[in-house]
A and B are shown apart, each in its own frame.
Chain A
Amino acid sequence: MERAADISTGDEPVVRLNNVGVRYGRGLEALSDVKLTLEPGSFHFLTGPSGAGKSTLLRLIYLAQKPTRGLVTIFGIDAARASRRSLAALRQRIGVVFQDFHLLSHLSVFDNVALPLRIGNAPLKSYREDVEELLTWVGLKEKMDANPETLSGGERQRAAIARAVVGKPEIILADEPTGNVDHEMAARLMRLFVQLNKLGSTVVIATHDLDLVREIGAPVMRIENGRLTMNAAMTPAAESE
């Protein structure tokens, strides 16, 4: 059953979009009248056809884009009114897995993954173990000194995921995080997201992989023609009913 994607549990939402519209140039709205509330610790999938507006919606949440109209609040702060300093501080609380990875080619895998911790001016010794352990966990232990350009697509994706989660962010957004890895690695990476969600992170994963959606069984937000709707969780059990 479909309903508007405006869920609320009473806690202060970490993300709230109200009547949000995004228009590029003079064309049609890429997003239209989007209402969305994400509670702390929630886990959602975001599905929809290519070009439907999934990436635009994620860009709004990780504050890389401002809406043409409507209100976007992240951790209770109006994104349109926030200073550049506040926006940067908010971004530090959000981990993003980009579809095109955004890895820096002149840095090693280790340095790329450590980047969110490094910008906080923490000394290397305070996070080195965490980064190395995480890289071991995502299967990149042998590649941590490699240049990202020498990695396969799947390896880059895992490095991008490690960078997104290394700072234990309060919100994790992932745009097709398992698109370039085999099923076994996809399941392993999803377990990582689930574990982080259990530790309190709010997770939104944009994906076309419906098997993955069924496996995890989290609520699904569907976006089509710029409009967002909320579906009940897809589970193997629900599907068979």
Chain B
Amino acid sequence: MSEDVAKLGPRRHAPILPRGEAREGALFMVMAIICALACLSALGARAAYRAADNWTASLSGSMTVQLNTSEDPFEKASALQNAEHALRAVPGVIRAKGIDKARAGELLEPWFGKGPLPDDLPLPSLVEVQVNPTAAPAPQKLERALRAAGLDAQVDDHKRWAGSVSNAAGALRIGALGVLALLAAAAAATVSFAARAGLEARRDIVEALHLVGAQDRYISRLFEHRFLGLGVRAGVVGALLAIAGSIGLIVWLQKSGATHLLLGEVPLQPADYAILAFTPLMAGLIGMATARLSVMAALKKLD
């Protein structure tokens, strides 16, 4: 080694594919928006599913009994008391409580406002029954127990509503998965187009690399690394946009009073954060895999 060479300072290679082209900025924006939409779609599906779970859990743990009684207040109160006793004796029933006028007032508050209910408002004789969700008695069993106590009643186990909620949540989830698949396909198509355009625009580099003996895989890897980086960065920005969007939505829902109903107590759960953290990785992998397939196919056609 000559002395002159030994005196030279540190050296680093410049990237073989030049950086910072205008179209990469536009592509980055498109990818970030796709990632944000994907995150929102996934978070929305999870929130809907969680809300449906909350609703069905509360519905499946309770039943409502409607007693057929006369309008006589004394007879009504007596029937409610008898029904409570009869129902509590059924295995699997945790709690049975008649709905008195005060409780009915609470339930009807959204429609009648605060304050006592009108005296002439006909109210059904209802009993709220809390059952063990894992060993709930059949509605017929409750009806038999009530008949044995001399009461005529209908028992509603809410299955009709729970089934509808569950079906709606399932449909929502399938819809969200479909949207996610479409967004992933859109991201892949965008990257494929960009990779081919990049290859065409950088044909001089590709040609020079081929002439010095570079394998197709080497050239492809240059593009793969470029799109992996771009996908990860776009995924991070997309996830941040989705967090901002979610916070905006939660604030809006809180103002409208629907947060608890739609999202439960905790708006974003650990699994939601995992989705957000997973998005950059997925975006990077989609970018990398698509770039590889596109560039390898295009290189075979170049010669």
Interface of A with B (CB < 8 Å)?
62, 64, 84-85, 88-94, 96, 98, 102-104, 106-108, 110-111, 114-116, 118-119, 121, 124, 128-129, 132-133, 136, 141, 163
Contacts and interface: CB of A to CB of B under 8 A. Distances in A.
A46 B300 CA distance: 32
Interface stretch (B13-21, B58-66, B123-131, B267-275): B13-21
A119 B11 contact: no
Contacts of B208: 102-104, 115
A110 B210 contact: no
A121 B11 CA distance: 16
A92 B212 contact: yes
Q: Which secondary structure dominates where chain A touches chain B?
A: helix
B219 to A, nearest CB: 9
A136 B1 CA distance: 11
A119 B303 CA distance: 20
A3 B201 CA distance: 46
Most A Cβ at <10 Å: residue of B11, B207, B303: B11
B214 A119 contact: yes
Contact of B211 (A64, A84, A107, A128): A64
A136 B226 CA distance: 33
B8 interface: yes
Contacts of A104: 16, 204-205, 208
A52 to B, nearest CB: 22
Given A84-B303, A115-B208, 6 more contacts: A84-B300, A88-B210, A90-B213, A91-B213, A92-B212, A129-B1
24 contacts: A84-B216, A84-B300, A85-B215, A88-B210, A88-B214, A88-B215, A102-B207, A102-B208, A102-B211, A104-B204, A104-B208, A106-B18, A107-B16, A108-B14, A115-B16, A116-B213, A118-B13, A118-B16, A119-B209, A119-B214, A121-B218, A124-B11, A132-B8, A136-B4
Contacts of A106: 14, 18
A179 to B, nearest CB: 19
Q: Which 6 A-B pairs have the closest CB atoms?
A: A92-B213, A91-B213, A106-B18, A119-B214, A116-B212, A132-B5
Nearest to A84: B216
B2 interface: yes
The residue in B2, B208, B218 that gathers the most chain A C-beta atoms within 10 A of its C-beta is: B208
Given A84-B300, A102-B211, A114 B218 contact: no
Contacts of B18: 106
Contacts of A116: 212-213
Contacts of B209: 115, 119
A136 B5 contact: yes
Interface of B: 1-2, 4-5, 8, 11-14, 16, 18, 204-205, 207-216, 218, 300, 303
Nearest to A91: B213
Given A104-B208, A132-B8, A133-B1, A111 B14 contact: yes
Nearest to B1: A129
A62 B211 contact: yes
Nearest to A108: B14
A156 B209 CA distance: 18
Given A111-B14, A115-B208, A115-B209, A141 B4 contact: yes
Contacts of A118: 13, 16
Contacts of A84: 216, 300, 303
Contact of A91 (B13, B204, B205, B210): B210
Q: Which of A90, A96, A114, A132 has the most CB of B within 10 A?
A: A132
A110 B11 contact: yes
Nearest to B219: A119
B19 to A, nearest CB: 9
A64 B303 CA distance: 9
Nearest to A62: B211
A96 B212 CA distance: 8
A89 B16 CA distance: 20
B183 to A, nearest CB: 34
Contacts of A93: 213
B213 A107 contact: no
A65 B17 CA distance: 25
Residue of A92, A107, A136, A141 contacting most chain B CB atoms (<10 Å)? A107
A115 B208 CA distance: 9
Nearest to B209: A119
B5 to A, nearest CB: 5
B16, B210, B211: most-surrounded residue (chain A CB, <10 A):
B211
Nearest to A95: B212
A133 B218 CA distance: 27
A147 to B, nearest CB: 10
B86 to A, nearest CB: 82
